[in-house]
A and B are shown apart, each in its own frame.
Chain A
Amino acid sequence: MDFFLEVLTGGLLAGVMYSLVAIGFVLIYKASGVFNFAQGAMVLFAALTFVSLWEHGIPFWGAFVMTLLSMLALAWGVERVVLRPLVNRPPITLFMATLGLSYVIEGLAQLLWGSQVHGLELGISDEPLEVGGMLVSQFDLFAAGVAGVLVLILSLLFNKTRIGITLRAVADDQLAALAVGIRLERIWMIVWAVAGFVGLVAGLLWGARLGVQFSLSLVVLKALPVLIIGGFTSVGGAIVGGLIIGASEKLAEIYLGPLIGGGIENWFPYVLALLFLLVRPSGIFGERAIERV
């Protein structure tokens, strides 16, 4: 039983890492209806930029700010070159454009900073910590804390600031927002920049865990089932979805793995998400739309 709890806790904490990627996704989907497959590429780009700057002797916060600026520039570019010309196109077209975008960003990141693996040491030990008789990774606790702070910042941004209100207006009804004089282009840019910031935070944590390398951009594939379970439009859902995926994936690996063979974490979240979908076709927290004809 203790072992079960330990696995569960480990899984839940790992799930927080998935949530981090999923949150960036949700932000963009809410504000622009774009299913942004390039979120993973953005995580890679941010982490690679940060670590390369840091390795060139720029202090931590300096590198952090410079990376943030580069994410802002990326957001500006994406809005200009991809989103603006594709306005009013079917969502599926925008999705495919972000597939193309992920290729561009990945290629660009590696063209600029090379494709070798970088270690990233954030100074948090990965030693297990004993909490109430269970062994819990310190690093995972730290990551969970960071995610908590991030969600707090985002909810303040969404609920207390003027930008937040505009964002929610756009998320609710683009056309109405346009009609009251909200500049969609600016909102999109802000949202992509914020998603870039979330991507940077996710990139640092994931990078510290796995090393900064190309496979970081594949975390998007982990985030997808998280979104399905949590719903595309809810930050809270992204957290809960992440926890569910993280926990069940670890439990399945431990208890199911020996029966049917290892390495099931690649597809297990998808099958889980599929089962969820068959019961609730729009996720736990997603709005169920009534079809009007």
Chain B
Amino acid sequence: MATKRRILKELEDMSRDRSSGMQAEVVDSDNMMHLRGWFEGPPDTPYAGGTYVVDIVLPDNYPFVPPKMRFETRVWHPNISSQTGAICLDTLSAKWSPVLTIKTALLSLQSLLAAPEPSDPQDAEVAQMMLNDPARFDAKAREWATRYAGAGDAAPPSEAEKRRRELDGYSESLVEGFTGMGFETRAVVSALRGAGVKRGVESLAEDMAGRVVERLIGGM
């Protein structure tokens, strides 16, 4: 089926691209049209540090119609129902376009968390609180993030997580090729980025490797 091929491509793309932080997987291997996506709450918001899980149902004529998305994780936010997780977002309805993807839709949800729009609410009670008592709204949003999304506690990132952030999506073996020459990881990653090397590649053509080394030497 037409739709299936595109969904597979999208899932592959998301599992390869670690830098966006948007992830999705099939809920039940028999049904490609039902997915579960998740992402981190945006930094410097009450949702920071939480993990937000989204239930995704793809209609048969996807991508010509938008995916049906609903927050599985409970969220205190004016554009998301505090009861059902239903989402009010134009990109997921009238403003949908078939060049958008599950990943871009999840990115839009992450931006929605960072930019609540109380004038066009999904949940009137939450919107009222946000407008009338912003401090109380922030506290409650934070409380829900801690209780339902696992935020808070500010656990320090694990060693593996630190390393993953440091590599910024580049493969360990690729970076090691350069750190083996005596350069620091941070410098290698920034040189790879500067030379326009795609994330996830395992080896470089000679001229590209040369360009990366040039940058490393230039930066010393």
A and B form one complex: no
Q: Which residues of A contact B (CB under 8 A)?
A: none
Q: Which residues of B contact A (CB under 8 A)?
A: none
